[in-house]
Amino acid sequence: MFADYSWGELGSIFAMQGFAGLILFSVFVLMALGLAIIFGQMGVINMAHGEFMILGAYVTYLMSGLFQTWLPGLFGIYFFVAMALAFVVAGALGMVVEWALIRRLYHRPLDTLLATWGLSLILQQTYRSVFGAREVGVTVPSWMMGSLPLTNMIEVPISGLFVMVLTIVIAAGVYLLLYRSQWGLQVRAVMANRTMAEATGINTGRTDRLTFGIGCGVAGVAGSAFTMIGSTGPTSGQLYIVDTFLVVVFGGSASLLGTIASAFTISQTQSFLEFFLSGSMAKVLTLLAVVGVLMLRPQGLFTLKLRK
């Protein structure tokens, strides 16, 4: 299939395809980070993860309208305000949900899965009632649209770059929070031994709530960022579920690094296959490969071998 192209063209294509893979990688990481925090640190499967993302997207939608009407001069930077607000709103909702729902179910992981699925249905209908069944169009500041032409073949999408940078920032932030902050220490302590953590005076309830809130907040930021590349509608969140879960599970639950590595593996596989196969078959093969590997290595890619 390459016979028709010059070496220069091929080089450009591979560069662009590599970049497409990197964008997909960033998208996966951004999707999965929030879930990885919640699943990895708390063992909770949050089926409403996609809906928290969409909450962030709707916040962004509202902000874009607000800025257009009241602060058109600042429209260029509204996106940052929207992302911060998305974090706060999704995080706050997450903490409410943790308080009302999740904390009663820590010893029943499969039940949290069902309860959060119920939550996702309720959230979807809420979005539908509030914002209507149709997708809403989020206006993105013009500087974030378009692309940077590197050569006459290679063009780098600015939204893609933005997502990549954001991914790095958020991943670094989460890393610092988890491994360098007091909160992170508490989270890890609670995860390692709840009773001991309680005994040493850690308020495990508060830690859980904060963890869940931060996970949901990160989901909100991801949703906010995805308004640049995807749709915002009541059921858009569902588009992300399977991919997100697979990334987290494939990475091995307890490790942030694992999530990132797994997002990288899956995104590159998919991106590579997409280039040679039809999109549908690429998707099927990627998912099959992931499921296959998980069957061979159920603990995921990166997990410490622990004494049981």
Residue 216 Cβ vs another protein, minimum distance, rounded to whole Å: 17
Tokens for 259, please give them: 């999530």
CA 168 – CA 151 distance, rounded (Å): 25
Residue 13 Cβ vs another protein, minimum distance, rounded to whole Å: 5
State whether residue 203 is helix, strand or coil.
Answer: coil
Q: Which is nearer to another protein, 213 or 252 (CB)?
A: 252
Considering only residues 271 to 300 of the shown chain, the ones binding another protein according to CB under 8 A are 271, 274-275, 278-284, 287-288, 290-291, 294-296, 298-300
Segment interacting with another protein, rule: CB under 8 A, options 14-22, 71-79, 164-172, 211-219? 14-22
Interface with another protein (CB under 8 A), residue total 113
CA 68 – CA 71 distance, rounded (Å): 6
Between vectors from CA 114 to CA 188 and to CA 29, what angle results, nearest 5°?
50
Q: Which is nearer to another protein, 27 or 86 (CB)?
A: 27
CA 73 – CA 273 distance, rounded (Å): 44
Q: Tell which residue, 55, 78, 52, has the closest CA to residue 65.
A: 78
Q: Which is nearer to another protein, 84 or 231 (CB)?
A: 231
Tokens for 91, please give them: 């995080």
Considering only residues 23 to 62 of the shown chain, the ones binding another protein according to CB under 8 A are 23-24, 27, 39-45
Count of Cβ atoms closer than 10 Å to residue 19 Cβ: 19
User: Does residue 69 belong to the site contacting another protein (CB under 8 A)?
Assistant: no
| Interacting residue with another protein among 68, 149, 172, 205 (CB under 8 A) | 149
Max CA separation in the chain (angstroms): 70
Q: Are 267 and 278 in contact (CB under 8 A)?
A: no
CA distances from 193 to 95, 144, 190, 204 (A): 22, 45, 5, 10
**What's the length of the chain?**
308
Considering only residues 162 to 201 of the shown chain, the ones binding another protein according to CB under 8 A are 190-195
User: Does residue 20 belong to the site contacting another protein (CB under 8 A)?
Assistant: yes
Q: Which is nearer to another protein, 88 or 124 (CB)?
A: 124
User: Does residue 302 belong to the site contacting another protein (CB under 8 A)?
Assistant: no
Q: Are 96 and 192 in contact (CB under 8 A)?
A: no
Print the binding letters for residues 205-244 with another protein: x by CB under 8 A, - otherwise.
-----------------------xxxxxxxxx-xxxxx--
| Interacting residue with another protein among 11, 155, 173, 175 (CB under 8 A) | 155
Tokens for 89, please give them: 């709103």
Q: Which is nearer to another protein, 137 or 181 (CB)?
A: 137
| Interacting residue with another protein among 71, 74, 77, 145 (CB under 8 A) | 145
Q: Which is nearer to another protein, 71 or 288 (CB)?
A: 288
Residue reference for tokens 């593996």: 265
User: Does residue 130 belong to the site contacting another protein (CB under 8 A)?
Assistant: no
CA 48 – CA 51 distance, rounded (Å): 5
User: Does residue 160 belong to the site contacting another protein (CB under 8 A)?
Assistant: yes
